[in-house]
Amino acid sequence: MASTHGTGAAAAAAPFYLPTGDEIEVFEQCHAQGLAVMLKGPTGCGKTRFVEHMAWRLKRPLITVSCHDDLSASDLIGRFLIKNDGTQWQDGPLTRAVREGALCYLDEVVEARQDTVVVLHPLTDHRRELPVDKTGELVRAAPGFCLVVSYNPGYQRMLKDLKPSTRQRFVALDFDFPAPEVEARIVAQESGIAEPDARALVQLAARLRALHDRGLAEVPSTRLLVAAAQLAVRGVELRRACQHAIVAPLSDEASLVAAMRDLVDATFV
């Protein structure tokens, strides 16, 4: 599944993003030098929002692909479609980005098959070109093209990981959950919730994230905090909003759910 974001009037407003280090400067230099970028960090920590912000900042279109187990090279590059009068070639999202000089963002690239990931290699070195085997065309990257991939190093990496030969083709930026004061600002900005409630949600997140050592596979993301805050702004009692938007999505295991509910109750007394 691919999505495209433009840079016209509808996209004039900057996607809200608070930097936590030098990631904006490094990304800008990578874009200027034609270097591919890898974003590493837990689910929901702001990687996608960062890419959206950088596309706006650099005034480039953004084409996003959500990677999955069945993603094939043809899904990225393109395929022939059967028409009434014959066949017609249709570019895939990666080929469109290469031609248009767009940012191409492959979200959770490690979920894609290895034979699919290999097609990225010619775009990540001095060649900056994409061979289209089915048509015999060699598409050279237009100015402004930048390949960006993301993945969560802490999730199922024992089963899936990028090969070293692929990893070394990218400049890596490490992401994590923001510092508490920054995360509270993000939650308040994205949801419209009052600052004290935003700080309380961040405090709850810190307590829940400590459960990672007790078997919680995924800790609560900033995205989940925003979802809970949005429910609260619409009139759902904050404790119930946390149960529905934070606790329930994280686990079905009874003891973990009970522990998380206790922490919610302790936070919002």
Q: What is the CATH number of the domain that holds 107?
A: 3.40.50.300
- Please check the confidence at residue 68 and state whether its pLDDT lies above 90: yes
What is the reported pLDDT for 159? 56
Can you tell me the mean pLDDT for 30-49? Answer: 95
**CA distance linking residue 120 with residue 52, whole number of Å:** 21
Comparing 11-25, 27-41, 56-70, 164-178, the range with the smallest average pLDDT is: 11-25
Q: Is residue 161 domain-shared with residue 239, that is, in the same domain? A: no
Q: Is residue 18 domain-shared with residue 128, that is, in the same domain? A: yes
**Structural domains in the chain (count):** 2
Comparing 48-57, 144-153, 214-223, 226-235, the range with the smallest average pLDDT is: 214-223
What is the reported pLDDT for 73? 94
- Please check the confidence at residue 2 and state whether its pLDDT lies above 80: no
- Please check the confidence at residue 13 and state whether its pLDDT lies above 70: yes
Q: Show which of 128, 145, 174 is a domain's final residue.
A: 174
What domain range includes position 205?
180-267
Q: Is residue 33 domain-shared with residue 134, that is, in the same domain? A: yes
Helix H, strand E, coil C: the string for 126-189 is CCCEEEECCCCEEEECCCCCEEEEEECCCCCCCCCCCCHHHHCCCEEEECCCCCHHHHHHHHHH
Q: Which of 34, 44, 53, 42 is nearest to 171 (CA)?
A: 34
Q: Is residue 197 domain-shared with residue 165, that is, in the same domain? A: no
Comparing 91-95, 144-148, 150-154, the range with the smallest average pLDDT is: 150-154
Taking the complete model, does pTM exceed 0.85, yes or no?
A: yes
Q: Is residue 28 domain-shared with residue 95, that is, in the same domain? A: yes
What is the reported pLDDT for 12? 62
Q: Is residue 116 domain-shared with residue 187, that is, in the same domain? A: no
What is the reported pLDDT for 95? 98
- Please check the confidence at residue 262 and state whether its pLDDT lies above 70: yes
Q: Is residue 170 domain-shared with residue 187, that is, in the same domain? A: no
Helix H, strand E, coil C: the string for the chain is CEEEECCCHHHCCCCCCCCCCCHHHHHHHHHHHCCCEEEECCCCCCHHHHHHHHHHHHCCCEEEEECCCCCCHHHHHEEEEEECCEEEEEECHHHHHHHHCCEEEEECHHHCCHHHHHHHHHHCCCCCEEEECCCCEEEECCCCCEEEEEECCCCCCCCCCCCHHHHCCCEEEECCCCCHHHHHHHHHHHHCCCHHHHHHHHHHHHHHHHHHHHCCCCCCCHHHHHHHHHHHHCCCCHHHHHHHHHHHHHCCCHHHHHHHHHHHHHHCC
What is the reported pLDDT for 201? 98
Q: Is residue 241 domain-shared with residue 215, that is, in the same domain? A: yes
Can you tell me the mean pLDDT for 186-212? Answer: 96
Q: Is residue 130 domain-shared with residue 196, that is, in the same domain? A: no
Q: Show which of 174, 197, 222 is a domain's final residue.
A: 174
Q: Show which of 107, 139, 174 is a domain's final residue.
A: 174
- Please check the confidence at residue 102 and state whether its pLDDT lies above 90: yes
- CB-based contact 52:4 (threshold 8 Å): no
Q: Is residue 113 domain-shared with residue 150, that is, in the same domain? A: yes
What is the reported pLDDT for 10? 42
Q: Is residue 150 domain-shared with residue 187, that is, in the same domain? A: no
Q: Is residue 12 domain-shared with residue 94, that is, in the same domain? A: yes
